[in-house]
Amino acid sequence: MRCVNLKVSCNIKMKLHETKFNEIKKLLKDKLGEEVIAYEEHGTQFIEIKNTKFWLTIDENEFTVGYGLNHTHFSEEYDNLFEGIIQAFDLLTNKVKTTNFIKGNTIFKTIIEIEYPNLQFVTIGEIGIIFFPYWKKTKIVNSISNPVIDKKEIENEVNKIIN
């Protein structure tokens, strides 16, 4: 939030999700430099990382964690903001498995899973469309994305952000 009139005292307090978003942005820029793309559009702030499907946004009320088309909304109001922050860092520090279900040339379902070090997969989202050529044979294509950053490299900073 910015103060437009500098002659007027501005006592606007940032919401917690905005503060955490800015802390994450600073950490990512410090560690990944020019790979981090940060911008604002129509009152929504975005963070993307080049050559990945990872993204974050915030608006007035929500902190959104995305991977490709999949995304989840978090906020203080939903009482799950810190789950979102943890999910964001999990997406950055673990392998991510994307499973596309294809009929003909149409991807009709996508599942996103985080692969944790113990080889446990946790589904964080599933996307599907209603209209697709259901009569065609289903082809399943899996892809694995490597971690964007080493967990040990940011562990201390992440603990400060979530505590």
Domain edges within the chain: 14-93, 95-146
Q: What percent of the chain lies above the pLDDT cut of 70?
A: 93
Task: Give per-residue pLDDT as tens, 67-113.
Answer: 999 999 999 999 999 999 999 999 999 999 999 999 999 999 999 99
CB 145 within 8 A of CB 68: no
Find, among 11, 125, 151, the residue nearest to 70 by Cα. Answer: 125
Task: Give per-residue pLDDT as tens, 26-73.
Answer: 999 999 999 999 999 999 999 999 999 999 999 999 999 999 999 999
- Would the pLDDT of 7 be above 90? no
Q: Phi and psi dihedrals of 35, rounded to 5?
A: -70, -20
Please give the Cα distance from 89 to 121 (Å, whole number). Answer: 16
Determine the average pLDDT of the residues in 3-21: 71
Structure tokens, 90: 């999990």
Q: What is the pLDDT of residue 70?
A: 97
- How does residue 14 score in pLDDT terms, banded at 50, 70 and 90? confident
Task: Give per-residue pLDDT as tens, 116-131.
Answer: 999 999 999 999 999 9
Find, among 136, 90, 140, the residue nearest to 111 by Cα. Answer: 140
